Amino acid sequence: MPTLLTSRLTTISHHIDEEQNLHPEATGEFTSILNDLTLALRIISRDVRRAGLNDVLGLTKDTNVHGEQVRKLDTYSNDVIKRAMLRSGHICIMASEEDDDIILTPSNSKAKYVLVFDPLDGSSNIDVNVTIGTIFGLYKRIDPYSDETATIDDVIQPGYKLQAAGYALYGSSTLLVYTTGHGVHAFTYDPTLGEFLLTKENIRLPHRGKSYSVNEGYYYKWSENMRQYVDFIKTPSSDKSRPYSLRYIGTAVADIHRTLLNGGIFLYPADNSHPNGKLRIVYEANALAMIIEQAGGRASDGEKRILDIKPDNIHQRIPLIAGSKEDVIECESFLKGEHPMQKII
């Protein structure tokens, strides 16, 4: 009996090439940008794996634009990405969580592409050996044929204009999850080969999950509607669809990744100390929202689709509610005070 072979062995570079072949107008620029980025991710992964042996743990003396203490690995990863992205000459401008201002490259008036990134998400988990990650988004300049120097307007485009988005996770293995708008694919890094190998193609998010992910320590800082939603998903129901389990790592990209695979809901809502939430729209929420949507989920600030929001500045914060479609819709209905169960609990 002949067998039908279905699971193919593919590296990230093969995959990027295949996706680009779908676009006859492709120039190869996009491919070389993603190849440069994966080089940076491999370098960061190598150094995260050796953290503790290579003097990258702990704090620097600096505080970033958000008033947070900067860790050595934050600064190191930021430098690695910026330097790797100069290679192709196709990036004109960048924005990073760790840089107060936009970063112009030597190709600032010639190149077509814009990179936004959080070099090391989950900084507070670095020193305790818990999963951290890198988040990135890639745009085209507003006018890709302009020969003027790129500006902040090229960086603060709404998320629906992203050409690609993804993240690396430095966890039990190093993973790269990315989308170019044709589904979400995951690659696992094999350090002995130095390659990211395709391990999950076309990831789909369940329409509803059974876990929620939020820093519940802020319960008394939330709005009454937010508290009611969390009370609701914890209340046992006769059909056993509730209570939900709580899962919270405190690294947004890792919490989103678990939600992507298992379904459920991730929330970093507004609270008294973070009136606009904590996550940053330009280099965190937009990329995570594009991944979630491409896998069939939903991402909003509680009212509006994240990807439709036009940021005003590169470090703007936004509440993020993302995950399984039905869970996010249910939460939005609580936040609007419109859920029928709200009067009962």
- Residue 239 contacts residue 229 (beta carbons within 8 Å): no
Q: Taking CB under 6 A as the rule, does residue 122 contact ligand AHM?
A: yes
Among 250, 262, 333, 341, binds ligand AHM (CB under 6 A): 250
What's the rounded Cα separation, in Å, for the pair 149 and 159?
A: 22
316: Cβ–Cβ under 8 A, 6 or more apart, which residues?
156, 276, 280, 281, 282
State which residue, 13 or 125, has the beta carbon closest to ligand AHM: 125
Binding mask 284-313 for ligand AHM (x = CB under 6 A): ------------------------------
Specify the stretch interacting with ligand AHM by CB under 6 A; choose among 121-129, 222-230, 300-308, 337-345: 121-129
For 268, phi and psi rounded to 5 degrees?
-125, 85
Q: Taking CB under 6 A as the rule, does residue 131 contact ligand AHM?
A: no
What's the rounded Cα separation, in Å, for the pair 334 and 160?
A: 26
DSSP code of 148?
A: S
Q: Rounded to the nearest whole angstrom, what is the least distance from the CB of residue 59 to Mg ion in the complex?
A: 16
State which residue, 41 or 111, has the beta carbon closest to Mg ion: 41
Binding mask 29-68 for ligand AHM (x = CB under 6 A): ---------------------------------------x
Pair type for strands 265-268 and 211-213: parallel
Within its chain, how far is the Cα of 320 from the centroid? 11
What's the rounded Cα separation, in Å, for the pair 197 and 190?
A: 7
Ranges within 200-219 binding ligand AHM (CB under 6 A): 215
- Size, binding site for ligand AHM by CB under 6 A: 12
State which residue, 225 or 251, has the beta carbon closest to ligand AHM: 251
Among 121, 293, 301, 332, binds ligand AHM (CB under 6 A): 121
What is the identity of the amino acid at 200? K
Residue 299 to residues 255, 302, 325, 326, 334, Cα–Cα distance (Å): 14, 9, 8, 11, 15
Q: Rounded to the nearest whole angstrom, what is the least distance from the CB of residue 122 to ligand AHM in the complex?
A: 4
Q: Rounded to the nearest whole angstrom, what is the least distance from the CB of residue 257 to ligand AHM in the complex?
A: 11
State which residue, 158 or 250, has the beta carbon closest to ligand AHM: 250
339 binds, among ligand AHM, Mg ion, none (CB under 5 to 8 A by kind): none
Q: Rounded to the nearest whole angstrom, what is the least distance from the CB of residue 24 to ligand AHM in the complex?
A: 39
What's the rounded Cα separation, in Å, for the pair 187 and 235?
A: 37
Q: Taking CB under 6 A as the rule, does residue 252 contact ligand AHM?
A: yes
Give the footprint of Mg ion on this chain (CB under 5 A). Answer: 118, 121
**SS3 annotation, 278-311:** CCEHHHHHHHHHHHHHHCCCEEECCCCEHHHCCC
Q: Which stretches of the chain bind ligand AHM, using CB under 6 A?
A: 68, 97, 118, 121-123, 215, 250-252, 268, 278
